[in-house]
Structure 1
Amino acid sequence: MRIWCKDHPIQFMACYLVFYLAFFTLLEHSIVVPDLVLHCALDDMIPFCKYAIIPYYLWFAWIPCTLFYLLWFNDRREFWRLCLPLFAGMTLSLLFCAIVPNGVNLRPAHLYGNDIFTQAVRNLWKTDTSTNVFPSIHVFNSVTLALAYHRCARLRARKWLWVKLAADLLCGSIILSTLLLKQHSVIDATAGIVLALFLDTVADAVARRTAPSVAYQHDHHPVFQNT
């Protein structure tokens, strides 16, 4: 199985996508009333903003774009280095939601207007319920992707600093969008960040053990040597 995944990375991603969508859809339809409703005082201080739908939707494009970029233009080990924490974290998040059904109750009672942003938010709320939010997969994935850009050997040169800064900006805007759209609480957004940092550390330890040809700089970032 491991050899097949290594030789067929695109098929592997497709299989995981099918698994994730099936699992997520099952949770969305089976969990109507969550056992745990997340809320904190900070949630009430954050205003609703319909324009946050823009970075929120950019998340859906950012994931495949980053994965294919690492797969086609970089050492393939960097692709698998991202897949490990990314897919593990998404799976763990779904498992936690299955074991502890959770959700939020933060959305405003009414959305006024028929502009494109308001309609986009309405469409989002129709397809994505207020359940299965802890930890936030949107936040988890965004932080994990941003870390991958900082780790990428191809982007080490100073001239590519803008790419890493853009990734950080997109990551931050997506995290804020989950709060501004009342999709997530500060609690599950924070949990997404913590999970991303933890699994990135675990993936780094795995990379050290399984790739003896990898040389590490003093900052502990892997530099992939040509073989």
Structure 2
Amino acid sequence: MKNKLAPYLPLAWLLSIPVLNICYGFLNRGGSDTAQLITAWDRLIPFVPAFIIPYLIWYPYVFLMFIVFFRKDRNVYYRSLTLTCVGLAVCYLVFYLYQTTFPRPEIGQDGVLNWLVGIVYQMDAPYNCFPSIHVLTSYIVVKAAYQCKLSRLANAAVCATSGIIILSTLFVKQHVLMDVVGGIVLAEMLYFWIGRKIFKPGREKRAAHGL
């Protein structure tokens, strides 16, 4: 039994994500100097309760995709997980040094969708906005899917799912446009400064041959 499970033990590193998320709860509170990054464009974006569905599937979606990366390309799995964990740490540091907030709209009392939005609002205080972790991780998943060389249909599905999740952060009024931009820019910076230097193609090939 142990020999059969041994090849899957690296998946245990996925637990680093929920462990790091403990920091989110400690930082999810406002202060006297909390900032707002709302623009005129954000005020034009309507509140659409239906987007709470893609917003909620984000967590299982990210974990499922990491399992796919693990099975398809172990190097992509380690790279993406490393960048995600470093990205989370950077986000928490920003939340601590530059806490932002976003006033939420009034939601209706009727309907399952409004009920789900209400639960999210109760469980997640309107802080820790910039940069968006939803956006950061969803964007990393898109880049990793291309690096895994999935089929065109699979890549299209990943892009569509991640794109809808990113849009959902705006339409359920959990984030503003600057939060989205911040998440994408952070992901690109991590890939440039860490992904390319630690996980170089030559180094990956040598590791694959046990050198």
TM-score surpassing 0.5?
Answer: yes
TM class, shorter-chain normalised?
0.7 to 0.9
Q: CA deviation at 1:15?
A: 3.8
The equivalent residue for 1:12 is: 13
Over 3 Å counting, the alpha-carbon distance change for 1:34 and 1:210 in structure 2 is farther
The equivalent residue for 1:161 is: 152
| Structural mapping, 1:84-95, within 5 Å | 84-95=82-93
Question: Percent of counterpart pairs with the same letter?
Answer: 26
For normalisation by structure 2, the TM-score amounts to 0.87
Q: CA deviation at 1:22?
A: 1.7
Output the aligned Cα RMSD.
2.3
Residue correspondences, number: 203
Over 3 Å counting, the alpha-carbon distance change for 1:116 and 1:212 in structure 2 is closer
Q: Which of these residues, 124, 141, 148, is aligned with residue 144 of structure 2?
A: 148
Q: Which of these residues, 100, 103, 109, is aligned with residue 102 of structure 1?
A: 100
Q: Distance in 1 between matches of 2:102 and 2:168?
A: 15
Over 3 Å counting, the alpha-carbon distance change for 1:48 and 1:34 in structure 2 is farther
The equivalent residue for 1:46 is: 45
Q: Distance in 1 between matches of 2:116 and 2:204?
A: 48
Over 3 Å counting, the alpha-carbon distance change for 1:34 and 1:181 in structure 2 is farther
Which residues of structure 2 form unaligned runs of 5+?
1-7
For normalisation by structure 1, the TM-score amounts to 0.82
Over 3 Å counting, the alpha-carbon distance change for 1:34 and 1:58 in structure 2 is farther
Alignment-mate amino acid for residue 62 of structure 2? I
The equivalent residue for 1:217 is: none
Q: CA deviation at 1:8?
A: 4.7
| Structural mapping, 1:190-205, within 5 Å | 190-202=181-193, 203-205=195-197
The equivalent residue for 1:3 is: none
Over 3 Å counting, the alpha-carbon distance change for 1:172 and 1:15 in structure 2 is closer
The equivalent residue for 1:121 is: 117
Over 3 Å counting, the alpha-carbon distance change for 1:78 and 1:16 in structure 2 is same
Alignment-mate amino acid for residue 130 of structure 2? F
Deviations 1:117-146 (A, max 9, x none): 110000000011110110001111111101
**Conserved? CA contact 1:102–1:134, under 8 Å:** yes
The equivalent residue for 1:27 is: 27
Determine which structure has the larger strand proportion and give its number.
Answer: 1
Q: Distance in 1 between matches of 2:46 and 2:189?
A: 30
Alignment-mate amino acid for residue 23 of structure 1? C
Q: Distance in 1 between matches of 2:22 and 2:76?
A: 27
Q: CA deviation at 1:212?
A: 5.2
Deviations 1:50-74 (A, max 9, x none): 0000111111111110112222x22
The equivalent residue for 2:4 is: none
Alignment-mate amino acid for residue 66 of structure 2? L
**Conserved? CA contact 1:35–1:100, under 8 Å:** yes
Deviations 1:20-44 (A, max 9, x none): 232011112x435552112111101
